[in-house]
Structure 1
Amino acid sequence: MGASEEAITLKIIIIGMGVIFMLSLSVIVFFIIYQRRLLAQQKKHQKIESDYQKELLETAILSQEEERSRVAKELHDEVGAMLTTTKLYFGQITPSLPEIEFEEITNKLRAFLDDMIQSVRGISQDLRPVILEKLGLIEALQSLVQTINDTGGIQINFKDNTSRIVPKPKELNLYRIVQELINNTLKHAKAKNVDIEIKHENEALVLLYKDDGIGLDHKTLLNKKGLGLKNIESRLSVLSGTMNFLKPKKGMAIRIVC
């Protein structure tokens, strides 16, 4: 009996060890598979993030090139044409020119020079609004809103609930983001009213934008093409900010935090 019990005990021990070994092996295999899946998932996320950052960079570069092309076109078409015409008028000035004709030409030259100054100021204003440089973001936004409201095509309500001065490095990007949002509304939303609020929440600056237009569909949000959303994301990446689409009953609503 003793030998039989020892054999049974030995079998139990061997089976137990086998079970433990199999369990240990299963845990190890599971851990290896899990690690490989986790690594693959991380690589996938890294690739997605890399592609996303690359896309934002390409958008930023494209936006800069479009801005340069626009400025070059305006300089060529407006200022260049005025300079050419001015040169022609200067060519008409000769010592033998009658005084009446001389006065007519000088008056025309003054008018052309005034127009050129206004054109150059307009181009400069588009590149870096003077009011933004001198008075800051809030006053620049108020001026932008007033200019658009004066057209009568849409009503924009702007609320300033900031509790401190907006840092200079953020001002231009935030101003351009609001411009892009308004431009999107004017082009696509068929809205009548827009509400814009800018405020501080703890250390963050929050921009709330809402219109009563036709809104954005899910496909548009996924593609984020043609509505300037990539330009906004590109600027937000500089500010380390975020943009979330809210779900209003009507229109479009966006919350930006930076």
Structure 2
Amino acid sequence: MDGQEQVIVALVYGLIFLVLLTTGLILFFHYSRQKIIQKELEKADLKLKNQQKILQTSIAIQERERKRIAQDLHDAISSKLNIVSLTTNVLLIDETITKKQKTALEQILNITTGTLESSRKIAHDLLPPILNEFGLKAALQELFEDFSKHTKIEIEDNVETLTRLSKNNQLHVFRIVQELINNSIRHGKANELVVYMEQNETGFIIRYQDNGKGFDVNNIHKKPGIGLQNIKSRVKILKGTLKIESTPNNGSQFIIRCNYER
């Protein structure tokens, strides 16, 4: 082998070495990058799980506080107001009281009766007893009737029984619909609503629509109000998706899809 051939062989071996070295470096960086990405994904997953846990804890604290306030309204306030009402009725029977005293007692009775009704309604909104006793469909029907009775709003509904939904998740769905109606009345100034809830093989879908003044969806996503934040939080706990369709002066539609837990 002459000198020229030796140079060629050396160049070939050198080239092979460089190719192998380059390939090794590429593989090293590739797998290193994969490990970094995997670690970042694990960290992100852990962060999401922690956020989910914090979210669930926050909602659970909310519900416990609502239950406590409802119980206090019933035990501490309503019971005392009932005593005032009974005592006033006893005094009104007394024929020795003057007309002026009777008028004052009647005013006290009217105020007490009105306050009792208000406290019962607040307690009922905080913790609807019908939900535990008869389920979500009955609780929603009562909610619709209550809103229709006390406001000028008209509600068209088609609500199916969600047979595979746990009691706790039924409460989340109830709160979502309750918050949607409150938002439609308070912010949207709507007077017509449509609530549609259907069960399928894997889960359920809720379609909610109002004829209110609507809003810019992009703006609401950037800076959602407390009501919408609560709705999003509960949808997330249900492991569902929320789609919002709305434009100014054209009403709003909310579509919620959730799968049952396996």
In the alignment of these two chains, the number of paired residues is 244
The equivalences for 1:142-221 within 5 A come to: 142-160=141-159, 162=160, 165=163, 167=165, 169=167, 170-213=169-212, 214-215=214-215, 217-221=217-221
1:37-93 deviations in Å (ceiling 9; x for gaps):
442344245325423542442244245325534653575444334436767999x9x
Distance (whole Å) between structure 2 residues aligned to residue 57 and residue 164 of structure 1? 24
Structure 1 residue 198: Cα displacement = 0.6
Structure 1 residues 230 and 84: CA distance shift in structure 2, 3 A: same
State the partner residue of 2:4: 4
* 2:70/2:124 contact within 8 Å kept: no
Structure 1 residue 32: Cα displacement = 0.8
Structure 1 residues 200 and 80: CA distance shift in structure 2, 3 A: same
Amino acid at match of 1:72: D
Structure 1 residues 140 and 222: CA distance shift in structure 2, 3 A: same
* 1:243/1:254 contact within 8 Å kept: no
Structure 1 residues 44 and 223: CA distance shift in structure 2, 3 A: farther
Structure 1 residues 247 and 120: CA distance shift in structure 2, 3 A: closer
Structure 1 residues 133 and 12: CA distance shift in structure 2, 3 A: closer
1:245 is paired with a residue whose SS is: strand
The equivalences for 1:219-258 within 5 A come to: 219-227=219-227, 229-238=228-237, 240-248=238-246, 250-258=250-258
Structure 1 residues 232 and 64: CA distance shift in structure 2, 3 A: farther
1:86-137 deviations in Å (ceiling 9; x for gaps):
67999x9xxxxx97569xx9xx9xx89x959867865664455354445433
Distance (whole Å) between structure 2 residues aligned to residue 86 and residue 163 of structure 1? 41
Structure 1 residue 19: Cα displacement = 2.3
Amino acid at match of 1:147: D
Structure 1 residue 183: Cα displacement = 1.2
State the partner residue of 1:18: 18
Scaled by the length of structure 2, the TM-score of the pair is: 0.70
* 2:71/2:123 contact within 8 Å kept: no
Structure 1 residues 157 and 231: CA distance shift in structure 2, 3 A: same
Distance (whole Å) between structure 2 residues aligned to residue 134 and residue 209 of structure 1? 25
Amino acid at match of 2:12: I
Q: Which range is displaced more, 60-69 or 30-39?
A: 60-69
Structure 1 residue 21: Cα displacement = 1.0
Distance (whole Å) between structure 2 residues aligned to residue 216 and residue 75 of structure 1? 44
Scaled by the length of structure 1, the TM-score of the pair is: 0.71
* 2:172/2:234 contact within 8 Å kept: yes
2:215 is paired with a residue whose SS is: coil
Structure 1 residue 28: Cα displacement = 0.7
Amino acid at match of 2:28: I
Distance (whole Å) between structure 2 residues aligned to residue 119 and residue 178 of structure 1? 22
* 1:247/1:253 contact within 8 Å kept: yes
Amino acid at match of 2:32: I
Structure 1 residues 241 and 185: CA distance shift in structure 2, 3 A: same
1:138-164 deviations in Å (ceiling 9; x for gaps):
23322322332234522221113x387
1:257 is paired with a residue whose SS is: strand
Structure 1 residue 242: Cα displacement = 0.9
* 2:245/2:252 contact within 8 Å kept: yes
Q: Which range is displaced more, 185-194 or 29-38?
A: 29-38
Percent identical: 21
Structure 1 residues 21 and 125: CA distance shift in structure 2, 3 A: same
